Chain A
Amino acid sequence: MMSSLFPGLLDARYLFWLLKGFGLTLQLSLITIVLATLLGLLVAAAREQRWLAAPCVVYLSVMRNTPLLVQLFFWYFGAASLVPEAWMVWLNTPKSLLGVPWPSFEWLAALFGLTLYSAAFIAEEIRAGIRGVGRGQRAAAAALGLTGWQAFRWVILPQALRIARGPLFGQYMNVVKNSSLAMAIGLAELSYASRQVETETLKTFQAFGVATLLYMFAVVLVQTAGRRRAV
């Protein structure tokens, strides 16, 4: 074994734990990014409608003005205690849907909480993008005979997304980093795995060092994806 030659290194078994955690971090982050972007678009669009603006403002301020950790605790511990007991049993029983293993309740709560939180920030980035599109664009679209929705979909939004692209990818990097808070609700992602490896090996520097490198790798990946699309 490498570890017996170099006692400072982590055993292969523990590196595997960290990689497994990293896989979960990537998976959770990617799905959150997709769902939060869709929800963010909806909220940004809804905010432009007069009668939907007020509920959107409430949602945005609640999500953006409270700590994510508290929100995760709320969904996992708080909201879960309001759900009927039979549902919790069903949610926590291992099963598979169409061959795909049903995810754990920790995973669902983390995805739900992280998506709602991130969508609020993404919605605001998109709205900033929409505001950045010249007023004349909407008027010109109307003059061409486009309806309000058509103007938004085909004229405003493409330009808004172009403006918002940089900040949006910044938010995506935040999603990767914020996913680490899911360890507080027992999700075995990368941070959780690094704590576990540290407990078992007492190799503090190595455990957290490897986790840090993996997070950096993931964030750089998101960053590069953002750059490439900008070309």
Chain B
Amino acid sequence: MKTSRGLIFALLALAAGVAQADKLDDIKKAGVLRVAVFDANPPFGFVDGKNKNIIGYDVDVANAIAKKLGVKVELHPTNPANRIPLLTSNKVDLIAANFTITDERAKTVDFSVPYFATGQKFIAKKGLLKQPDDIAKLRIGADKGTVQEITLREKYPNATVVSYDDTPLAFAALRNGNVQAITQDDAKLIGLLARVPDKAKYEVSSFALTQEYQGIGIGKGETRLVALVNETLVDLEQTQQAGKIYDKWFGPKSEAPLPRGAFKIGQR
């Protein structure tokens, strides 16, 4: 019968599918690891002005994973909205694109251990902010109507919070000395700091008020691949490689210096 034959084919295909579900073997067989990375989000992933290759922090991490697997890496440029569809439609094997770990996303994809941390941080004159307790005594500039403003007031009810219409205005107030520190997402802060002429006087705090973690995105249920990626990432930390990659993109001599803080790969 047509229907039952179709059903058998379907079942066979499904069985084959299950047998093939192990992505790790597929990658090794193909000899290529396909990774979705950003191409316009420095320093995580962006096009190199000289030879038009995609480079960045995430790219270095992707290369390390490919090296561990003993395969070539194939980069697929993506943007925030396309990351998950690329993975679920099997166009790529991994997402390494400043991908923040959230409960919502964990329903669709599996995450590796965290390999990068961002958070709400501060800019202040060098040496002024050493530990979180220093905040309570200062006048802090924030952006009106942002999550950061609310978090700051919740966590430090004694700090004087002065809110401005946007981050550049808050930064102007900091440079004038009207406030002693300003708070925002660290990625935004280093972007601001990179453009000002007297940036040597300021620094981004090493501690954060809130913490978000970025991980490698992996297809749901690929436990062996997840394990291998985790192993690679933890190895990077143990062999001191992680710190070197970090310094290359965020170290004191980079375009966007950002203290690494206490974060280590695999920790929360």
Contact = CB atoms under 8 A, between A and B. Distances in A.
A81 B175 contact: yes
B163 A77 contact: no
A184 B169 CA distance: 9
Contact of B173 (A77, A89, A198, A200): A77
Contacts of A85: 177
A186 B177 CA distance: 14
B264 interface: no
A89 B177 contact: yes
B162 interface: yes
Contacts of A76: 173, 176, 178
A172 interface: no
A80 B162 contact: no
Label chain B's interface by main secondary structure.
mixed
B145 A186 contact: no
B164 interface: yes
Given A186-B141, A186-B164, A80 B176 contact: yes
A106 B179 CA distance: 10
A212 interface: no
Nearest to B162: A186
A171 interface: no
Contacts of A196: 144, 163
B15 to A, nearest CB: 52
A62 to B, nearest CB: 22
A22 interface: no
A195 B178 contact: no
Interface in A29-49: none
Contacts of A185: 164
B164 A195 contact: no
Interface in B149-192: 149-150, 160, 162-165, 169, 172-173, 175-180
Nearest to A86: B177
Interface residues of A, number: 20
Given A92-B139, A186-B173, A105 B178 contact: yes
Given A195-B144, A199-B145, A88 B163 contact: no
A84 B165 CA distance: 26
A192 interface: yes
Interface of A: 76-77, 80-81, 85, 88-89, 92, 104-106, 184-186, 192, 195-196, 198-200
Interface of B: 139, 141, 144-145, 149-150, 160, 162-165, 169, 172-173, 175-180
5 contacts: A80-B178, A89-B177, A186-B163, A186-B178, A198-B145
Given A76-B176, A88-B176, A192-B163, 19 more contacts: A77-B169, A77-B172, A80-B177, A80-B178, A88-B177, A88-B178, A92-B177, A105-B178, A106-B162, A184-B165, A185-B164, A186-B162, A186-B163, A186-B164, A186-B178, A192-B144, A196-B144, A199-B145, A199-B150
